[in-house]
Amino acid sequence: MPTRLSATRLAARLAAKELGVREVAQAHLDRIATLDATLGAFLTVDPDETMRWADAAQAKIDAGEAGPLTGVPIAIKDNLCTAGVRTTCASRILESHVPIYDATVVRRLREAGCVMVGKTNLDEFAMGTSTENSAFQVTRNPWDFDRSPGGSSGGSAAAVAAEMAPLALGSDTGGSIRQPASLCGIVGFKPTYGRCSRYGLVAFGSSLDQIGPFARTVEDAALLAEAITGHDRRDSTSANHPAIATQALKSGTLRGARLGVLKETLGESTDPRVTQGVERALDALRAEGADVHEVSIPSIGYGVTTYYIIAPAEASSNLARFDGVRYGLRVEGKGHIGMMEATRAAGFGHEVKARIMIGTYALSAGYYDAFYLRAQQVRALMRRDLEAAFQDFDLLVSPTSPVPAFKIGELTSDPLALKMLDYCTIPANMGGFPALSLNCGFADGLPIGLHLMGPVLGDERLLQLAYCVERALPDATGRPPLP
Ligand code: GLN
């Protein structure tokens, strides 16, 4: 069944013409049709559009121009602009917004010959940790339909875990790729800030946002990272650095690799089953010759509070553009201010409004120094401490999420508890560090994610070591119990 194959295997069989691109795309569309009424991973599926991408990919193969991902289906988070295909950010305010251009990453997917199977659900404007903040639907975890797939890229993670696509794109501001990857038992990778162009990603926290891949293997994630990264003059924060290279992906070793285990992430607030799963994985890495030591970085304890000032501050400024004038929804009101008020009142959901208010407050005269400026100072300290740790370690290791997948609705009445779940993933965004989550075991049938963080621009080495880690944990992956 083509839906079971990794992207790498699919691409090889497509290039060898053992499979046709349309046939592979159809198999994935059929699986979406079967499963997605239950899972709710997709907001938009347009089979005709998918077949246009498929025909373009087949033409590449027929012309002998196939690349490593040509013909491979991919799901795209619905905050990435796709020309001619609705891009909603799971918000009423953009419910019928159809971009006229592709995000740079989407353009690069077309160039690589990938085949878009649909746009995936998210927390509204990527603000959340459970995909419950979507204005349109809740996404369910393929491992247990009563549980959340995590968020905000929960649709992308569920789609890949449920074999509705071998690859997906997400965005990660405070953990939105890695945390859902963890809760769904797959690989999620956030590259170094700046390696992946943000052009055409609907901005949330611009100094934190980064696009990255979901896949079921490290190799697939690395190939997708290679396809989407590289300098882009349309993003002023784009690193002047080539795309992530994968040719040395398989030539790393854990022998002598220096792994620093972040003490602060394995304390009381981490579920003991997660701690045990991570410790078992660390034993397996030691057995492969890794040099594993505990390291304490107390400043990461300020990550969540700092992030929840900086991210809303940037969001409050970024979301000012949704004013009923240029994009999406317009609700008439008294005069043009009344129109903007009515539009924003009707168009934004509760969480988005809360963040706009918090962010506006943190930036306002008199409070700026006490909140936003102070948060940026703490951020700088945290980044400095982490950079210093990378003098001693190749990777910093922790759980990805302190808990396995939680029940849908379980945390909706406790927003603080939900936000605390981000404490392992936020430090990477604060310093722009590359980080990856991969599955390292199970707790009562639910996946446990292992989080690996590398130094800035150390993406290649991080992927190389992640590839070794995956090989050292052969029993740590599995397939969810689906038809
Ligand atoms: N959970 C975090 C938040 O709610 C991170 C979201 C993200 O990375 N987009 O902001």
pLDDT at 76 over 90: yes
Q: How far apart, in whole angstroms, are the C-alpha atoms of residue 109 and residue 117?
A: 12
Who's near 173: CB < 8 A, 6+ residues apart? Answer: 126, 152, 204, 205, 208, 209, 210, 311, 429
Cα torsion 130, 135, 140, 145 to 10°: value is 110
* pLDDT tens track for 373-422: 999 999 999 999 999 999 999 999 999 999 999 999 999 999 899 999 99
Cα 210 to averaged position of ligand 1 atoms, centre (Å): 11
Cβ count within 10 A of residue 413 = 8
Tell me the CA end-to-end span of the chain in Å, nearest whole number.
13
Residue that has been written with the tokens 């639907």 in this structure: 137
* Residue 289: φ, ψ to 5°: 100, 5
Annotation marks residue 77 as catalytic: yes
Name the residue with the closest Cα to ligand 1, atom 10: 127
Q: Average of pLDDT values for 51-57?
A: 98
Best residue for ligand 1 mutational test, from 122, 124, 127 (most atoms within 8 Å of Cβ): 127
Whether 152 is catalytic is yes
Region 135-159: mean pLDDT is 98
Count of structural domains within the chain: 1
Whether 225 has a pLDDT exceeding 90, the answer reads: yes
Question: Which residues make beta-bridge pairs with 442?
Answer: 447
Q: Is 90 exceeded by the pLDDT of residue 455?
A: yes
Q: At what angle do helices 7-15 and 21-39 cross, to 10 degrees?
A: 150
- Of the candidates 77, 119, 190, 419, the residue annotated as catalytic is 77
Residue 287 has pLDDT above 90, yes or no: yes
At residue 256, does pLDDT exceed 90?
A: yes
Determine phi and psi for 39, rounding to 5 degrees.
-80, -35
Please report, rounded to a whole number, the percentage of residues in the chain having pLDDT higher than 70: 100
Mean pLDDT of 350-364: 97
Task: Please give all residues whose beta carbon lies within 6 A of any atom in ligand 1, as ranges.
Answer: 126-129, 152, 172-176, 204, 311, 422
User: Could you identify the residue written with the tokens 């009423």?
Assistant: 92
Please, which pLDDT band fits residue 165 given cuts at 50, 70 and 90? very high
Q: What is the atom index within ligand 1 of the atom nearest the CA of 129?
A: 1
Q: Helix 218-228 to helix 459-472 angle, to the nearest 10 degrees? A: 160
CATH number at residue 336: 3.90.1300.10
* Both tokens assigned to 472: 């050292």
Closest-CA residue to 480 (of 167, 159, 170) = 159
E strands along 254-347, which residues? 258-262, 291-295
Instruction: Please report the atom of ligand 1 found closest to the CA of residue 351.
Output: 4
Query: Are residues 411 and 405 in contact, defined by beta-carbon separation less than 8 angstroms?
Result: no
Say how far apart CA 221 and CA 178 lie, in whole Å.
Answer: 12
Pocket test for ligand 1, best of 123, 201, 305 (most atoms within 8 A of CB): 123
The span from the CA of 5 to the CA of 217, in Å, is 11
Q: Give the pLDDT mean for 173-178.
A: 98
Which tens digit of pLDDT belongs to each residue from 316-349?
999 999 999 988 999 999 999 999 999 999 999 9
**397 and 452 in contact (C-beta within 8 Å)?**
yes
Judged against a pLDDT cut of 90, whether residue 25 lies above it is answered with yes
Amino acid identity, position 331: V
Q: Name the average pLDDT for the chain.
A: 97
What does the pLDDT read at residue 125?
98
Q: What pLDDT sits at residue 474?
A: 85
Q: Is 90 exceeded by the pLDDT of residue 483?
A: no
Compute the distance between CA of residue 213 and CA of residue 188 in angstroms, rounded to an integer: 6
Atom of ligand 1 nearest to the CA of 204: 9
82 phi and psi, to 5 degrees?
-125, 120
Quote the ligand 1 centre to 480 CA distance (angstroms). 25
Round to whole Å and give the CA distance between 455 and 26. 40
Is 98 exposed, middle or buried (CB count within 10 Å of its CB: 0-12, 13-18, 19+)?
A: middle
Share of the chain above pLDDT 90, in %: 98
Q: Residue 475: pLDDT above 90?
A: no
pLDDT band at 1 (very low <50, low <70, confident <90, very high): confident
Q: Taking Cα atoms as reference points, which of 101, 21, 115 lies closest to residue 61?
A: 21
Give the distance (Å) from ligand 1 centre to CA of residue 227: 25
Question: What's 264's DSSP letter?
Answer: G
Element (H, E) at 269: none
Domain encompassing residue 340: 1-483
User: In the predicted model, is pLDDT for residue 444 greater than 90?
Assistant: yes
Tell me how far apart the alpha carbons of residues 151 and 312 are, in angstroms, rounded to a whole number. 17
Amino acid letter for position 63: A
Q: What is the pLDDT of residue 477?
A: 86
Strand order in the sheet with 187-190: 42-44, 115-120, 73-77, 167-172, 210-215, 187-190, 435-443, 446-453, 395-399, 258-262, 291-295
**Burial of 133 from C-beta contacts in 10 A (0-12 / 13-18 / 19+):** buried
CB of 174 within 8 A of CB of 311?
Answer: yes
Two tokens at 212? 């990255």
Could you give the 3-state DSSP secondary structure of residue 364?
A: coil
Cα 123 to middle of ligand 1, angstroms: 9
